[in-house]
Amino acid sequence: MKFSAQLDVNVVAVEATDEVSLLLDLQSPQVASAEDRATATLQVVLDRSGSMSGAPLDGAIAALCGLVARLDERDNFGVVVFDDTAEVVVPAAPLSDKQRVVAQLQHIHPGGMTDLSGGYLRGLQELKRVAAGGGGTLLLISDGHANRGITDADQLATIAASASTERIVTSTLGYGLGYDETALSALARGGSGNHHFAEDPDSAGAAIATEAGELLSKSVQAASLLIDMEPAVALVKIYNDLPSTQVGDGKIMVEIGDFYSNERRKLLLRFGVPAMASLGLAQISTLELRYVELPGLVEQVVTLPVQVNVVPGDEAAGRVADPTVHTEVLFQEAQQAKKRASEALERGDRGAAMDLLAGAEGVLGAAMMAAPDEMRADVVKESQDIGMMKDRASWDDTSRLSKVTRASFHQRNRKRGRE
C-alpha cells in the first residue's frame, strides 16, 4: 500500500507556537485478476416495513437478484428482513444454488413497523457465523425512521464501530425521502462503510451495484492510522469525519476501513506545534498505518515520521503554504459547511442552509485561486455542485436536499480521493 504525507508548511519559527496541516495520500494495491480475489461475504439487511410496499421493495429485490448473479458460487451471501421483528430469509452461506436464493428473495413481502436495530443485529449475527472471523460487508437498506428497538444514532454508530473491529464494514442505503439520514449516516460512519441516497428503484439498483463492485474488488481490509504525537504536540483536527479513539497519551487511532483495488484516499490532519528552543529538524509525530492485505489476510504495518524544520523567525515569516495542502484545507472547510447545511435542512431551516452553502461557495472560490492545475477541475466541479444545492435550498423539498447534501458530504469528506 502506498503511503505518503505532505505538510502545508515544513518550517516553523523558533520559540513560537504554530499550527501545520498534513495531507496523507493512500493508495491500495491492485487485485491482479478476479480469480485472485478473496472470497467475498455480503450480508443484506432489508427493511420490509409497510412504507416499502410496492416499487421500493420490488426495486430492491430486483437489484438484489442482479447482485446474486454477479457473485461467485464461493461467495457468502445472506439476507435478513425486518419490520416489527427480524427474519432470516436467506441464511448466510456460499451461493451454491443461486436459483433457490432468487426464489427466496422474490417471496419477500411488506410487513409492519421499523425495528432497524433488530434487523441490523440479526444481520451481524449471520455475517459473523458464516465469515468465521474473515470479515465482510453488511448493507442495510431502509426507507424509514427506526421506531422500535434502538433508535439513537450514536448507539447505532457504536454498534457498527464495534463490528468494524472484527473487519465487518457497514454500508447503508437510504431509500426515498422518509428515512433518517442522521441514523443511517451514523451507522455508515461507525462501520467505515458507504452511505448512499436513492430516491427511486433505478438509483437504488445503482447503489447496490456500487457496493457489489467494491466488495468484489477489495484488496485491503481494516485499515487504521495510529497518530503518535511527541510531547506537547496536539492533534487540533481530523478534517475527515472518521471514527477516532484516544488509545494512550498523545495517541489517536483513526479507523479508515476497507479499500477496493487500486483505490486512492486522502486524509487531512492539523497539528498544534509547541514553541521549540532549538533550531533544526524536529519530529512532531509518528504515523503508523495498519491494514490486512487480501487475499492472503496478511497484516501489514507502515510507519512514517512527521518532521518540521525549526528556523529563525525572519526566515519563517517568508514561508508560503503548499498549494496542494492549502487547497485541500479549503475544500474540507467547504465540506464541513455542507454537512451543517444538511443538518439545517433536516430541521427545515432553509435560510440557515442557504447561508452555509453560500459560505462554502466563497471558500471554494478562494480554493480555486490557490489550486494547482491538477486540482482545479475538481474544485470547480464542487463549487458548481454546492451552488446548485444553494439554489435548490430556496425551493426544493428540504428532506430531499438534506439527503442529497449528506450523501455528498460522505463521498467528498469521509471517502475523499476515491474515484
What would the grid cell of residue 26 be?
493512500
| CA 178 to chain centroid | 22
Q: What local confidence, expressed as pLDDT, does residue 83 receive? A: 87
Residues 225 and 300 grouped into a single domain: yes
Nearest to 412 by CA among 321, 327, 340, 339: 339
**How many CB atoms lie under 10 A from the CB of residue 33?**
7
Q: What's the average model confidence in pLDDT over 354-358?
A: 97
Residues 146 and 173 grouped into a single domain: yes
pLDDT tens, residue by residue, 255-298: 999 999 899 999 999 999 999 999 999 999 999 999 999 888 88
How many domains in the chain?
Answer: 3
Beta carbons of 339 and 409 less than 8 angstroms apart: yes
Q: What is the CATH number of the domain that holds 378?
A: 1.20.120
Q: What local confidence, expressed as pLDDT, does residue 164 receive? A: 92
The percent of residues above 90 in pLDDT, for the chain, comes to 71
Q: Is 336 within a domain?
A: yes
Residues 308 and 242 grouped into a single domain: yes
Order of strands, sheet of 18-27, starting from the edge strand that comes earlier in the sequence: 2-7, 18-27, 264-273, 234-238
Q: What local confidence, expressed as pLDDT, does residue 32 receive? A: 67
What would the grid cell of residue 316 be?
519563517
Domain-ending residue, one of 167, 193, 216: 216
The percent of residues above 70 in pLDDT, for the chain, comes to 99
Residues 45 and 83 grouped into a single domain: yes
Q: List the domain range (segments joined by +) for residue 144.
A: 38-216
pLDDT tens, residue by residue, 32-89: 666 677 788 999 999 988 888 888 889 889 989 988 988 899 999 999 999 888 999 9
Q: Is 419 within a domain?
A: no
Q: Is 359 within a domain?
A: yes
pLDDT tens, residue by residue, 16-37: 999 999 999 999 998 866 667 7
Domain-ending residue, one of 190, 216, 242: 216
For residue 215, pLDDT over 90 is answered with: no
Instruction: Tell me which residue has cell 518550517.
Output: 11
Q: What is the CATH number of the domain that holds 234?
A: 2.60.40.740
Q: What is the CATH number of the domain that holds 57?
A: 3.40.50.410
Q: What's the average model confidence in pLDDT over 115-131?
A: 92
Domain-ending residue, one of 189, 216, 243: 216
Residues 129 and 227 grouped into a single domain: no
pLDDT tens, residue by residue, 379-417: 999 999 999 999 999 999 999 999 999 999 999 999 998
**CA 157 to each of CA 185, 187, 298, 349, 410: distance values in angstroms, whole numbers, following the listed order:** 9, 5, 28, 26, 15
**Phi, psi (rounded to 5 degrees) for 168:** -105, 115
Q: What local confidence, expressed as pLDDT, does residue 122 receive? A: 95
> Which DSSP category does 298 fall into?
E
Distance CA(241)–CA(330), nearest Å, equals 15
Residues 235 and 199 grouped into a single domain: no
Residues 210 and 344 grouped into a single domain: no
Length of the chain counted residue by residue: 419
Residues 77 and 182 grouped into a single domain: yes
For residue 148, pLDDT over 80 is answered with: no
Q: What local confidence, expressed as pLDDT, does residue 55 receive? A: 84
Residues 239 and 274 grouped into a single domain: yes
Residues 239 and 273 grouped into a single domain: yes
Residues 189 and 268 grouped into a single domain: no
pLDDT band per the 50, 70, 90 thresholds, residue 134: confident
Q: Which helix (H) or strand (E) holds 266?
A: strand 264-273
Q: What local confidence, expressed as pLDDT, does residue 34 receive? A: 64
pLDDT band per the 50, 70, 90 thresholds, residue 204: confident
For residue 216, pLDDT over 90 is answered with: no
Residues 190 and 287 grouped into a single domain: no
Compute the mean pLDDT over every residue in the chain, rounded to the nearest whole number. 92
For residue 180, pLDDT over 70 is answered with: yes
Write the CB contacts of 312 (distance below 8 Å, at least 6 apart in sequence).
13, 14, 279
For residue 94, pLDDT over 80 is answered with: yes
